[in-house]
């Protein structure tokens, strides 16, 4: 049943992604002029990508995928959204940065890829990826199956501690299902978080692109704790190299946060909490 919810999420992401990209200006020009969408948190975990074969799962519209390619990698991006992959292919062609993109559910794609000869030096995923996974164990096992010996998994995402809060900064959502129901249904669907971010950064300024986006398609997310995630990675046969927690984020999810420099922190009066986590794990094997 949960696997079937991915089709509803595909429709919701198709609608939302089209709205998101209306706010981002001339993205092809941004990349042609040397732009990147990767942040220091993921860059520190990624390391040198020169000559690496990289698989970017849940790549959305391909901006991070092309940024990885800019670092010298040969990159394949996979995402469930038709709209996202169509835009990613267009952006690759218009920016002149080569990458290969597939429209597929991550579970389906990994199952097929496990039977093919190609293996990857790195699997990467970030920012709002884990909450869309209905089964962490099969996801992690699928990643392990497509990694080369000594290949790495790098994941940077919003911390589940942060995700328990609602917009009033009151704990509302479960940290984890703790072995039972961890499903969150949203009739509002995937929202226009890009518009929210722009309004928080520049209050009162005109919003480029779609105004007051309303998603006609519901969405379904899953609550996972750090223990759920790390256990799945270890059970898939990967060795955990790093687990980092960060007190600030390059993105904001909730109103009232403080922008200090280029990072968002919780509102005044709240204690420091982890807003992001970063994981690097490796498939055992001889290092080259």
Per-residue pLDDT for the chain (288 aa), expressed as one digit of tens each? 678 899 999 999 999 999 999 999 999 999 999 999 999 999 999 999 999 999 999 999 999 999 999 999 999 999 999 999 999 999 999 999 999 999 999 999 999 999 999 999 999 999 999 999 999 999 999 999 999 999 999 999 999 999 999 999 999 999 999 988 899 999 999 999 999 999 999 998 999 999 999 999 999 999 999 999 999 999 999 999 999 999 999 999 999 999 999 999 999 999 999 999 999 999 998 544
Residue 100 corresponds to which tokens in the numbers above?
């290969």
- Show the CA angle centred on residue 73, arms to residues 68 and 78, nearest 5°: 60
Q: Is 166 inside a domain boundary?
A: yes
Q: Write the Ramachandran bin of 186: left for phi over 0, alpha for psi from -120 to 50, otherwise beta.
A: beta
Q: Is 248 inside a domain boundary?
A: yes
Query: What is the domain extent for residue 14?
Result: 5-282
Q: Is 223 inside a domain boundary?
A: yes
Q: Is 288 inside a domain boundary?
A: no
Helix (H) or strand (E) holding 85: helix 82-95
CATH number of the domain within which 155 lies: 3.40.50.150
Q: Which segments of 111-176 are extended strands (E)?
A: 120-126, 147-158
Q: Are 285 and 150 a contacting pair, CB within 8 Å?
A: yes
Q: Is 117 inside a domain boundary?
A: yes
Q: Is 278 inside a domain boundary?
A: yes
Q: Is 115 inside a domain boundary?
A: yes
Handedness of CA 228, 229, 231, 232 (dihedral sign): positive
Q: Are 60 and 17 a contacting pair, CB within 8 Å?
A: yes
Torsions phi, psi for 272 (to 5 deg): -65, 135
Q: Are 153 and 129 a contacting pair, CB within 8 Å?
A: no
Q: Is 287 inside a domain boundary?
A: no
Domain count, the chain: 1
Nearest in space to 154 (alpha carbons), one of 23, 41, 268? 41
């Amino acid at each position: 049943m949960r696997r079937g919810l991915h089709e509803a999420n595909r429709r919701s992401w198709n609608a939302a992604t089209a709205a998101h990209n209306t706010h981002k200006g001339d993205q092809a020009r941004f990349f042609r002029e040397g732009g990147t969408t990767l942040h220091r948190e993921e860059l520190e975990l990624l390391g040198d990508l020169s000559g690496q074969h990289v698989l970017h799962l849940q790549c959305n519209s391909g901006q991070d995928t092309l940024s990885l390619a800019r670092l010298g990698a040969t990159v394949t991006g996979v995402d469930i959204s038709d709209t996202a992959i169509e835009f990613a292919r267009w952006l690759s062609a218009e920016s002149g940065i080569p990458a290969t993109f597939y429209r597929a559910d991550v579970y389906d794609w990994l199952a097929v890829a496990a039977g093919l000869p190609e293996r990857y030096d790195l699997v990467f995923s970030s920012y709002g990826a884990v909450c869309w996974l209905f089964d962490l164990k099969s996801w992690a096992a699928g990643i392990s199956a497509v990694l080369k010996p000594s290949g790495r998994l790098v994941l940077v995402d919003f911390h589940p501690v942060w995700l328990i809060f609602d917009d009033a900064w009151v704990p509302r959502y479960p940290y984890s299902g703790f072995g039972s129901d961890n499903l969150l249904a949203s009739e509002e669907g995937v929202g226009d978080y890009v518009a929210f971010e722009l309004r928080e950064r520049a209050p009162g300024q005109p919003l480029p692109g779609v105004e007051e986006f309303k998603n006609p398609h519901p969405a379904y997310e899953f609550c996972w704790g750090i223990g759920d995630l790390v256990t799945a990675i270890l059970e898939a046969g990967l060795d955990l190299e790093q687990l980092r927690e960060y007190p600030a984020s390059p993105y904001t999810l909730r109103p009232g946060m403080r922008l200090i420099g280029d990072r968002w922190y919780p509102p005044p009066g709240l204690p420091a909490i982890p807003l992001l986590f970063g994981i690097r794990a490796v498939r055992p094997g001889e290092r080259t």
